[in-house]
Structures are given as C-alpha cells and as structure tokens.
C-alpha cells in the first residue's frame, strides 16, 4: 500500500520525500524485513534533464523507489498472508471504547481456559453490573461464566465467574499492562494475573448455551458490561484444545478487527462505533 503524501520540487515528484531527498544528493542503504538489502546510489555527476532525475537503465528515481516499496509491501504482508489473512497488517493492540464487542462463536462451558494480554483504560467504581468491565464471558439467568471481569468491591478487582461471582484479591488499575490466564472447570477455577494467583475449588458442570463475547459480556444474547481496554492477544482453549487465537489486525480494507489464526477468519465489531488501534 503506497503512501499518499507527495513531495514536489523542480518538476520532481515522489511519494517518499525523505528518501528522495537523500537519493538526489547522495546514497541510501537500508534493510527491509531482515531479508533484502538494497543500495541505491546517485552519482555526484547526476545530470538533471528537463528537471527529471534519472537512475540506472534510464529508470526514474521515483519509479525505482516505488518498485522498492512494492517489494517492501510484499514482505510486509508475507507473514500475515501465510497465516491466511490476505493483505492484513498486524497491529500491536485493538482498543475498545465502551461500545464495541466481538462474538467469538464459542459457547461458554466447563473445561475452558484462556490466555490474554491487555490493559484497562477504565476500571469499575460502582457495584452495579452495568459498571463492570468484561473482557471475555457470557451469562444466562442462572449461570455466570466470566473469564475476566473488572468489577467493584470497595476496591476495583479482578473477578471470575463460574456458577457464581468470585472476587479475587487482585486489584485492577488503569493503564497497567496485564498478562493473565484463567481456567474454569469443575472444582478448579484459577486466575493468574501478572504472577498473582487466585483459586476457587467448587462449582458444577456448566454449559451456558451462549457464545462468549470479547470486550463485553453476553447476557442472554445481549451485550452488557462493555470494557474500555487495549487487547494485545487472546487465546481460548476448550479441553486444552486451542479454539481461538486472536491477534489484532487491519484487514485488506484497513478495517480494525481480530484475526483468529485457528479458523483463519477476521472477527469484526458487532456493536457501535469503531475500534481504535495502535
């Protein structure tokens, strides 16, 4: 994908101004993707004919540069294309602003676990569930099933839900990077956040018959408890089998989403507004 901004002067136009300035007076050597190294040299004897800089084989510098960037694009997309995400650009994180959510298509039930890296941009300060901030989970009238919930219990804390609410002793704070793991199973509910461990040893076999949502909680097929969070990755396991392996990307149309490396599918916002990203 070529950059849109232009540089012009002395009847010379180029899509990559800094590179062109160097090429017009000297040389540049750089490495792209760790796999190709190109050196473009403009001699001190370069003659400007009709204001147009020329290069080897009578090729304009602009043409040479654009061909180089096309090759760079091929390298840039190669990793994602290999994963099955055609012309996707990998992002560092996907940011929800409190109105977006993604349907995983995976029913919340016993025997599941997850790994995630994330940062809350807002933490709960109210005991109402409307003020909870869910990263992954679902619930019906009788059964709670949350992997991560930032909730309020005098102090904002991580909470897991397996049959019931379980407040951990692990505080949640804004703009703090968390790497976390959760296991929700009969007689074993474990939450590990930045090496802090919280365990509960009870619970019955659960099947919510509801898909888990990311960035919100699926409450009887309605999203609630939206979160404002930066998500770096999310993995979901069912009986130790990896069923979702999400990474944040821009698709080929520059739309932010989560790409699942297992199903090789892009998962898009089902709520309102648009994801931010970095």
Are residues 112 and 53 located together in one domain of the fold?
A: no
**232: Cβ contacts below 8 Å, ≥ 6 apart:** 92, 93, 116, 117, 118, 119, 248
| Domain residue limits at 98 | 94-277
Does one domain contain both 19 and 109?
no
Domain end: 83, 108, 139, which one?
A: 83
What integer pLDDT is reported at residue 29 of this predicted model?
37
The pTM score is 0.74
pLDDT in tens, 133-191: 999 999 987 788 999 999 988 899 999 988 888 899 999 999 999 999 999 988 889 99
Note whether residue 89 is domain-resident.
Answer: no
Residues 79 and 105 in one domain: no
pLDDT above 70 for 46: no
Going by C-alpha positions, the residue among 239, 242, 238, 275 that lies closest to residue 258 is 275
Tell me if 271 is assigned to some domain. Answer: yes
Number of domains within the chain: 2
Q: Is residue 1 part of a domain?
A: no
Q: Is 111 found in the same domain as 46?
A: no
pLDDT at 35: 37
Instruction: Say yes or no: 42 and 134 in one domain.
Output: no
**Strands (DSSP E) found in 98-162:** 102-109, 112-120, 133-139, 144-153, 155-162
Residue 212 has pLDDT above 90, yes or no: yes
With a cut of 70, say whether residue 215 has pLDDT above it.
yes
Last residue of a domain, one of 51, 83, 115: 83
First to last CA, the chain: 18
Residue 110 maps to a domain: yes
- Is 134 inside any structural domain? yes
Residues 54 and 118 in one domain: no
d(CA 126, CA 129): 8
Note whether 7 and 56 are within 8 A (CB). no
Same domain, 64 and 106: no
Does 76 reside within a domain?
yes
* Residue 59 predicted with pLDDT over 90: no
Position 223 pLDDT exceeds 60: yes
3-class secondary structure, 28: strand
């Amino acid at each position: 994908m070529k950059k849109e901004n232009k540089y012009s002067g002395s009847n010379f136009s180029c899509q990559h101004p800094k590179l062109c300035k160097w090429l017009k007076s000297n040389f540049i050597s750089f490495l792209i993707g760790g796999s190709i190294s190109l050196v473009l040299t403009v001699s001190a004897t370069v003659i400007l004919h009709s204001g147009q800089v020329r290069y080897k084989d009578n090729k304009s510098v602009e043409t040479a540069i654009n061909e180089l960037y096309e090759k760079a694009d091929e390298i840039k997309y190669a990793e994602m294309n290999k994963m099955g995400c055609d012309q996707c650009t990998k992002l560092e994180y996907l940011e929800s602003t409190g109105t977006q959510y993604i349907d995983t298509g995976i029913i919340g039930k016993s025997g599941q676990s997850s790994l995630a890296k994330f940062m809350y941009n807002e933490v709960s300060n109210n005991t109402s569930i409307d003020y909870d901030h869910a990263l992954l989970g679902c619930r019906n009238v009788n059964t709670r099933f949350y992997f991560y919930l930032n909730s309020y219990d005098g102090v904002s804390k991580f909470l897991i839900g397996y049959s019931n609410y379980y407040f951990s002793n692990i505080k949640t704070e804004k703009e703090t990077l968390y790497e976390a793991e959760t296991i929700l199973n009969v007689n074993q509910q474990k939450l590990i956040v930045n090496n802090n461990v919280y365990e509960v040893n009870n619970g019955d076999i659960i099947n919510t018959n509801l898909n888990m949502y990311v960035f919100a909680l699926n409450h009887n097929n309605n999203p609630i408890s939206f979160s404002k969070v930066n998500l770096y990755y999310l993995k979901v396991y069912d009986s130790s089998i990896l069923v979702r392996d999400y990474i944040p990307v821009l698709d080929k149309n520059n739309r932010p989403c989560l790409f699942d490396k297992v199903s090789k599918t892009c998962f898009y916002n089902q709520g309102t507004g648009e994801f931010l990203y970095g």
